[in-house]
Each structure stands twice: as C-alpha cells, then as structure tokens.
Amino acid sequence: MNQSNNPPVPFADSYWVIPGQFLAGENPAKSGDEPTIIRRVQALLKSGISVFYDLTEKANGHGHYAP
C-alpha cells in the first residue's frame, strides 16, 4: 500500500508502520494537558489502535510521563 492509500493518522507526529494496523509516534500524553491527552487517546482508539507500548526510558529525559 502506498502512502496515498494510508488511513489518516490520528494526530501529528505519528505515522503508520503497517497501514491501519501498526502506528508509531510520540507519546499521546506528551503535552501534559488533560483535554489534549483525552482527545489523542480517543483518536487512537477511533483509528483502531487498542494496544500501547511506551518505549520511553528514564534516560530520554521525559520524567513527566506517568508509568
């Protein structure tokens, strides 16, 4: 499937690794703003994403993310 056939991404700074199945991108909680986080998670769910893997490590300097 070429890029023009990819489903839309749920938010900026995300991309389809396998279109419609496997999405990669920034942590949806990056902003720390609760309404934005809720909107982003809802967009992920609406896109069919229901499993989340957080690859953030302490060394990445993102200490404000909750485990």
In the predicted model, is pLDDT for residue 66 greater than 80? no
User: In the prediction, which pLDDT does 56 show?
Assistant: 77
Is 1 contained in some domain?
A: no
The residue ranking higher by pLDDT, 4 or 39, is: 39
pLDDT 10s digits, 18-61: 999 999 998 888 878 899 999 999 999 999 999 988 887 777 66
pLDDT at 1: 47
Expressed as residue numbers, the domain containing 34 is: 11-60
Give residue 65's pLDDT.
54
User: Structural domain tally of the chain?
Assistant: 1
Q: What angle do CA 46, 34, 32 make, to 5 degrees?
A: 110
In 3-state terms, what secondary structure has residue 66?
coil
- Tokens representing residue 28 in the block: 């949806």
In a domain, 67, yes or no: no
User: Is 29 part of a structural domain of the chain?
Assistant: yes
Residue 17 pLDDT > 80, yes or no? yes
Residues 6+ apart with CB under 8 A from 54: 27, 65
